[in-house]
Amino acid sequence: MNRHLRVADTSARANRLACTAMTLAACMVLTLVLNAALYAAPKPPAVVIVKSTLQDDGWGLPSEGHAVAAKGSRVFVAGTSSGAVTGKNISIGQYKRSLKWDGTMGWDGGSNQDDEIFDVAIGRKGEIYVTGYITQGGAKEIRVEKRLKDLGPNTSTTASGAVSGDDSGRAIILDKKGNVYTVGRMAMYGWGTDIWVAKYDPNMQPLGNTTIDGPSKGSAGANALALDSTGNLFVAGYRPVAGQGQDIWVGRLDASFNVVKEAYVAGFGAGNDAAYDILVEKKDVYVVGTIATEAQGLDIWIGKFDNDLNLIASATYAAPDGHDDFAYAIAKGPGGRYFVAGKVATAASVDDAWVAIYDKYLRQVAQTTYSSAGVHDDAVYGAIAFSSGQVLVAGRTFDPAGNANVWLARFKGTRLPAVKKPVAPGME
């Protein structure tokens, strides 16, 4: 007799003993309840929300979070708020680890036009570094700023391309010495925009920069960067390729910003494929973004490369609605699992925030969506993971009045199975 039959037999004897003191009808009900509990299917793995907060910029104006960083008990959310006269304003929100709001610092770039920041990093002494753009005379210029830990007086620099255009910093990190690396896009003659890479010392003095154009005419840009343990710089974004539109691009750069290795990933047709975040480990490089497919428009894309940028594996995810879906962030969780976050379409003009867990073999373990009240476009743009196994995400949802607010939320996985290596077909 196998184990399951022995358990069932034991339960049956328990049922009979319980029934001796009951009426027949009560006994039948008890038996049905006990058997249902015994043979109930186990609950599947899940991603659940632990806590969240919705916060405007402090003045009741629409706002959204683009990136999140934490150090000690402090959490910073970088993004934008909207002024009635000044257009979009740069915004940095401060929070406790409990997600209690501790104030927002917002400022205009100086011309009452749109200004935004897209990423934030925290220095060794608690100083804050951000990157984005300000608008001057109708043209966007890259903006990189350093602020004290209380967000006080800043040291900033701007950079602009050869022509007035859509310049923007998109991601920023620090190395072990406190040097600042940032990437984005810069407008150039006849080519739209190029990938832009720059390095500054801790006091924001320039140490070098470069631009990288595409192999064909069209716009290129970088959305993410990461350093490995030996100082190699990995950059992810998009570049135009003749006949293929815009492809996902990942590059490994040396200390002089020369491209040593690179990889392209092309979706269906001449689509707008792009990488939005990158995570570098000792042997592997994980990249997330969006890729064009024949049937579903743009799908979420996750790729795993080795350090020489050979593609090892990839996966896509399409929400059932069949419209465009995006992965904007990846963060490493415990036990060989990764949090991936972004947005998925639920109708032609409506998006839900999306958080999922994948294992190191790019199998989706669990996923969930979050939707604010009403018909709105909710999204997650940034994510960081904690040693507790939870992930903290920042993005945008809407309040009951329909105004966009910064959304900060913690998620965790439950009932997660052990990560096991896939078994080859026929070897089960």
pLDDT tens track for 13-65: 444 444 454 565 555 554 555 455 545 567 899 999 999 999 887 666 779 99
pLDDT score, position 40: 59
Token pair for residue 389? 């196994």
Banded model confidence at residue 399, pLDDT cuts 50, 70, 90:
confident
| Confidence category of residue 183, pLDDT binned at 50, 70, 90 | very high
Q: What pLDDT does residue 23 have? A: 61
Percent of the chain past pLDDT 70, that is, above it, reads 86
Count the neighbouring beta carbons within 10 Å of the beta carbon of residue 105. 18
142-168 confidence digits (pLDDT tens): 999 999 888 887 899 999 887 878 899
Model pLDDT, residue 427: 42
Per-residue pLDDT for 10 more than 50? no
**Between 276 and 419, where is the model more confident?**
276
Q: Specify the pLDDT at position 13.
A: 44
pLDDT at 189: 78
Give SS3 for 71: strand
Lowest mean pLDDT among 83-87, 114-118, 164-168, 256-260: 83-87
Average pLDDT over residues 398-420: 91
Q: Please report the pLDDT score of residue 172 as a whole number.
A: 98
**269 CB neighbour count, 10 Å cutoff:** 11
How crowded is residue 400: how many other Cβ atoms within 10 Å of its Cβ?
A: 9
Question: What pLDDT shows up at residue 292?
Answer: 94
Give the range with max mean pLDDT: 67-71, 106-110, 376-380. Answer: 67-71
| Of the candidate ranges 64-73, 306-315, 348-357, the one whose mean pLDDT is the lowest | 348-357
Q: What is the pTM of this model?
A: 0.88
For residue 27, the model assigns a pLDDT of: 52
Checking if the pLDDT of 348 tops 80, the result is no
> Which residue is listed with tokens 């003659």?
189
- Decide the pairing of beta strands 101-107 and 245-253: unpaired
Q: Is the pLDDT of residue 426 over 70?
A: no
Tell me, what's the pLDDT at 205? 95
The single residue listed with the structure tokens 């049922």 is: 15
Per-residue confidence (pLDDT) for residue 141, from 0 to 100 = 94
Max mean pLDDT among 56-60, 84-88, 348-352 falls in: 348-352
Residue 4, pLDDT above cutoff 50? no
Q: Check residue 31 and give its pLDDT.
A: 53
DSSP lists the bridge partners of residue 353 as: 343, 370
Q: How far is C-alpha 342 from the chain's CA centre?
A: 6
Average pLDDT estimate for 354-377: 92
Cα Rg of the chain, angstroms? 25
The pLDDT, as a whole number, for residue 152 is 82
In the chain, the N- to C-terminal Cα span, in Å, equals 24
> Picking from 44-53, 123-132, 346-355, which range would have the lowest pLDDT averaged per residue?
346-355
Confidence at residue 35, expressed as pLDDT on a 0 to 100 scale: 55
Q: What CA–CA distances, in Å, run from 211 to 183, 204, 410?
A: 10, 19, 37
Give the lowest-confidence range in 98-112, 313-327, 334-348. 98-112
Grade residue 298 by pLDDT with cuts at 50, 70 and 90: very high
Q: pLDDT confidence of 113, banded at 50, 70, 90?
A: confident
Q: Which amino acid is at 351?
A: D
Q: What is the mean pLDDT of residues 240-245?
A: 87
The per-residue pLDDT of the chain, averaged, comes to: 87
Query: Would you state the pLDDT for residue 5?
Result: 30
Give the contacts of 168 (CB within 8 A, at least 6 positions apart).
116, 118, 132, 133, 140, 142, 184, 185
Q: What integer is the mean pLDDT of 172-188?
A: 96
CA atoms of 252 and 274, how far apart (whole Å): 17
**Lowest-confidence segment of 293-302, 310-319, 361-370, 383-392 by average pLDDT:** 293-302
